[in-house]
Structure 1
Amino acid sequence: MSRAANESTAAARVGRPHDAAHPNAYPAAVVRQLSALTTEFYAREAASFSVTRQAPWHGWEKAWEVISEQRPSLAAEPLAVLDVGCGNLRFERFLATHTRGPVAVCALDNCTALAEDGTAPLSERFTLEFQETDLVEHLLNNHGTPLANPGTCDIAVAFGLMHHVPTFALRTRILQELISALRPGGFALVSFWQFLNDPRLAAKAEAVTAAGRAEHNLPLFQENDFLLGWQEAERVYRFCHHTPDAEIDALLANVQQALAQAHSSSPTFRELARFSADGKPGNLNRYVILQRH
């Protein structure tokens, strides 16, 4: 079965409308409920999750190559980095092996236990400011408050985050925040989980979504929205969105439009690269590398 057919079949069996780019797919109360399930998952499973998330992602090497080609002196420069959804800070450990200069990191996540698990091995060259932040709640409540000071970062990343953000509108906001945080010439590195590329994960997503929706009295999901569990844990759910390339295109177009409306001098950007990596089949994350003009 082709990837497109697999995605369509999984979506149809769970009974979701085909409306991937709907700007406001769920009421705020449902968005908060979906986000709360994910928050509870990480609070409960932080230790077991972190143990399985120690090695750097393969895609980070290629992403670093892309931005280093644009700025050959990058590894030696002092860097200001924004990491949205930092988890256990393994990207910071990756940076420690790929940089030589001082690195100041602003790291955001709502699971402090994960972040604390990753602080000890960090290089002395690193200055880390961790902010416990409920990103979804921030986006729902603080429409005019940025996640970071605009125009201050050399690199802004969101790895393993976008699939946990319910609705196209909020995913657009995350990307907008990343671009706005960059200095001219800065880079945004973003991954989108494409777990429906794996038939095993697609089947699990279908079954777990049906069980989780019934247990938590959730409405029909939008296209490519699912719940996933974790290992052998029972009644543990995390919201996960599969993001196909057509939606990535729409997200980038919406971000550029939103930035143009929000700024008299719009921080425009260009797409440097898009590629797949990670997971056993090598195609479970879709990376997008952007550069601010």
Structure 2
Amino acid sequence: MDDATARLLRDETEHFYDSCAASFGATRKRPWEGWRTLVPRFSCCFERAQLRGRLPLVLDVGCGNFRFERFLRGAVDEPWRALGLDSCRLLSGDPPLGSAFRETDLTHWRPAREERGRFDLVVCFGVLHHIPGTPAREALVRDLARCVAPGGLLALSLWQLQKSERQLRQARETTARFLATHPNVELDPGDWLLPWQGREDVVRYCHGFSNDECARLATVTGLDLLDAFDADRANRYVVLSAPSDEFSQ
């Protein structure tokens, strides 16, 4: 993917979220089933942090309206604190108790020195399919991995759009219209444009991950693969762990 196409797709997606934040956020209230599957791993992760004598820290990259944090608050008994990053402040609203928000352009985010190796749980749900281009997606997951504390977890969701026939049909139609008005755009395999609630004036870029791409993203993190499973009808979850330091062992 060339740089001009990547910039255009980022701009279109940013415009989508700025224009549709209220209606989009209103439909994003329920927790994902994949999160429920991960609760035992979250609990173990937090218990390890407490054994080190500190409050567990969560980094949620692409936090949206903080529905993951609200789910987590009721799903695990251990106390924790979270930092949520998102490109769209309009989605975040008021962070729930124990959570903080920072507006950040996720396509250009790089962790600060003090953020590296700091977080016991790093999650990135519903985000990577909005990042145009394989190099940019791989760069982001490498940076996510750098934020994981020794013995901590990184959990990713990778949207496999091709598994949803209804959304794939919408994507084909919207992408064809988009390319007809942007003849210089060259999409990569698996790239699509999706509409929202029948509106044709706003579209968002989405990438559908193949199984090979999911495996590749897990590999580039440099972390240990703990689990990979399908949930939520079209998500592939990848769960990785950072090596423990000597003290945690």
1:87 and 1:109 in contact (8 A); partners too: yes
Q: Of 66, 87, 106, which residue of structure 2 is paired with 1:110? A: 87
Letter in 2 for 1:111: C
* Matched position secondary structure for 1:236: strand
Identity score, percent: 36
Partners of 2:148 and 2:179 lie apart in 1 by 38
Letter in 2 for 1:82: L
Taking a change above 3 Å as real, the CA distance of residues 71 and 133 of structure 1, as seen in their structure-2 partners, is closer
Q: CA deviation at 1:219?
A: 1.7
1:225 and 1:242 in contact (8 A); partners too: yes
> Residue 20 of structure 2 aligns with which residue?
45
How many residue pairs align between the two structures?
240
Instruction: Show CA shifts across 1:34-72 (max 9, x none).
Output: 01100100100001101110011111011222344x548
Matches for 1:168-183 after TM superposition, within 5 Å = 168-183=134-149
CA RMSD in angstroms, aligned pairs only: 2.1
Letter in 2 for 1:33: L
Q: Is it true that 1:132 corresponds to 2:103 in the alignment?
A: yes
Matches for 1:51-200 after TM superposition, within 5 Å = 51-68=26-43, 70-71=44-45, 73=47, 78-116=55-93, 119=95, 122-123=96-97, 126=98, 128-136=99-107, 138=108, 146=112, 149-200=115-166
1:159 and 1:190 in contact (8 A); partners too: yes
> Residue 227 of structure 2 aligns with which residue?
273
> Residue 240 of structure 2 aligns with which residue?
290
Q: Of 242, 246, 257, which residue of structure 1 is paired with 2:212? A: 246
Q: CA deviation at 1:233?
A: 1.5
Taking a change above 3 Å as real, the CA distance of residues 58 and 111 of structure 1, as seen in their structure-2 partners, is same
Partners of 1:228 and 1:158 lie apart in 2 by 21
Taking a change above 3 Å as real, the CA distance of residues 246 and 146 of structure 1, as seen in their structure-2 partners, is farther
Partners of 2:38 and 2:209 lie apart in 1 by 19
1:75 and 1:99 in contact (8 A); partners too: no
Taking a change above 3 Å as real, the CA distance of residues 230 and 74 of structure 1, as seen in their structure-2 partners, is farther
Letter in 2 for 1:73: E
* Matched position secondary structure for 2:236: strand
- Structure number with the higher strand fraction is 2
* Matched position secondary structure for 1:73: helix
TM-score by length of 2: 0.89
1:83 and 1:158 in contact (8 A); partners too: yes
2:49 and 2:120 in contact (8 A); partners too: no
Partners of 1:238 and 1:135 lie apart in 2 by 15
Taking a change above 3 Å as real, the CA distance of residues 148 and 109 of structure 1, as seen in their structure-2 partners, is farther
Please list every run of 5 or more consecutive structure 1 residues that lacks an aligned counterpart in the other structure: 1-25, 257-268
1:148 and 1:181 in contact (8 A); partners too: no
> Residue 5 of structure 1 aligns with which residue?
none
Letter in 2 for 1:205: A
Q: CA deviation at 1:105?
A: 1.5
